Structure 1
């Protein structure tokens, strides 16, 4: 049975861990807040006091941490990584992932970025979308593991291409949600029935399934029990803007959206589902 070390057991990390246990993997888990490992430990995982404790028995280290700098810090604390593959599945910048790959190489390990699209429900079902970046042979070696988390793991290209795919998709999440919120606000202000509007939108080429997923939340103003929070959406949008500028892409039109999301900082909206940005588009 494969032994895996999982560093980071937040909403997504815990779901990935549960999925790995369900398919028969032996799992070591660590989180800065040890209480966040409780569910996985109860399900059969071994809790680590320090992130490097499980390396002797693990050939793969999956990280699902908040960002690139935190991931680099934790991986750096592991020491020598000979014979081990580091697989970061959280969102980070392109430049951050390239730098981390170099760091892992210096520590003697191999590296495969594998950010995912999807959240807790998809992770538990093994239906995440995995966008890997790295060497072909490393991807092939980790394919059986990734196949337990995604129906069709994809190698996008070299290190950085997986991170680019993830940032591009998360930017679309932010832009689509914002655009739909604005449309909904104007529709309601005009007195048009929302259901009538949706009857036109759904069969059109403009429709995206996420619209219906978020419509009920926006209409009821209920943003609790999130799979992806407003604060994380803001973080990832800022990361996209930074990487876009490094790549020479003019993404200045998104600066207003980033500023809008800043208004959620420190409020209940920040810890709610990202569709809570709908509350921010109320200009009254």
Structure 2
């Protein structure tokens, strides 16, 4: 039986672990706060008591952690990797991922970055989008596992390319949400019915499905029960901007959006759904 360790059981990590349990895998789980493991243990997961040695006997170690720094510290705490494959699924910087690979491989491990697009609902039904970066042979070895989470996992290139793809997509989340919020506010203040605006937008080339997914939340100013928080969106946008600077890209427009998101710090918006940035796009 395939044996997997899932390190980090927040919203996404818990859903990934549940999915792997549902398809019959042996799943070992860890969280800095052991109390958060309870639902998974009830479903049949085994708790990882100590990170040291947790890779032994595992076909893969999946990390679903906040950022590259936290991921590196957790992987380092595993000790010898015993030939297992480390697969970070959280968002991290390009060079952070490459540095982690340089740590894993000499430590008798394999490395395949596998960031995902999607959240709890997609993880639970196996429809996440996986953008892997790494060696083609390692990818093929892990394809059966990844296929439990994604209908068609893709190898996008060498280590770093998966991280870059994930950041590029998360930048679109921020930019599309911001632009839709501004457009929505303008037409409302001009007296254009939202229904009329959406009837024009939906059949056009400008339409993105995320607009309808977030429309009612914005109209109701209701952002509870997030799949992805404003805080995490801001963190990922900042990371994208750092990578854009390194790549020599013009980032002036996005810098303004990051400044806008900074206004959510220390407020209730930070822990709410990321489309709560709609609350920041009106001066009054």
TM-score interval (norm. to shorter): over 0.9
Alignment-derived partner of residue 18 in structure 1: 18
SS of equivalent to 2:111: strand
Between the aligned partners of 1:52 and 1:248, the Cα distance in structure 2 is: 40
CA shift, 1:51, in A, is 2.2
Alignment-derived partner of residue 54 in structure 1: 54
CA contact (8 A) 1:65 1:90 kept: yes
Between the aligned partners of 1:254 and 1:61, the Cα distance in structure 2 is: 34
Alignment-derived partner of residue 82 in structure 1: 82
CA contact (8 A) 1:95 1:243 kept: no
Between the aligned partners of 1:186 and 1:197, the Cα distance in structure 2 is: 11
Between the aligned partners of 1:175 and 1:95, the Cα distance in structure 2 is: 24
Between the aligned partners of 1:189 and 1:49, the Cα distance in structure 2 is: 56
Residues 35-44 or 140-149, more deviating: 35-44
Q: Deviations over 1:80-133 (max 9, x none)?
A: 113111000000011110111101112121100000000000000000000000
TM-score in terms of structure 2 length: 0.98
CA shift, 1:27, in A, is 0.6
Which runs of structure 2 are paired with 1:64-143 in the superposition (5 Å)? 64-143=64-143
Which runs of structure 2 are paired with 1:141-180 in the superposition (5 Å)? 141-180=141-180
Q: Where do 5+ consecutive residues of structure 1 fail to align?
A: none
Residue-pair matches, total: 284
Alignment-derived partner of residue 190 in structure 2: 190
Alignment-derived partner of residue 45 in structure 1: 45
Residues 64-73 or 52-61, more deviating: 52-61
Root-mean-square deviation (Å): 0.8
SS of equivalent to 1:266: coil
Q: Deviations over 1:32-73 (max 9, x none)?
A: 111111111111001112223432221210000000000001
Q: Deviations over 1:213-247 (max 9, x none)?
A: 00000000000000000000000000000011111
TM-score in terms of structure 1 length: 0.98
Residues 171-180 or 99-108, more deviating: 99-108
SS of equivalent to 1:55: coil
Post-superposition, which runs of at least 4 consecutive aligned residues in structure 1 deviate over 4 A?
none
SS of equivalent to 2:55: helix
CA contact (8 A) 2:133 2:158 kept: yes
Between the aligned partners of 1:89 and 1:131, the Cα distance in structure 2 is: 9
Between the aligned partners of 2:255 and 2:274, the Cα distance in structure 1 is: 17
Alignment-derived partner of residue 242 in structure 2: 242
CA contact (8 A) 1:4 1:28 kept: yes
CA contact (8 A) 1:62 1:86 kept: yes
Between the aligned partners of 2:24 and 2:212, the Cα distance in structure 1 is: 35
Q: Deviations over 1:171-196 (max 9, x none)?
A: 00000000000000101111111111
Between the aligned partners of 1:48 and 1:142, the Cα distance in structure 2 is: 22
Residues 247-256 or 20-29, more deviating: 247-256
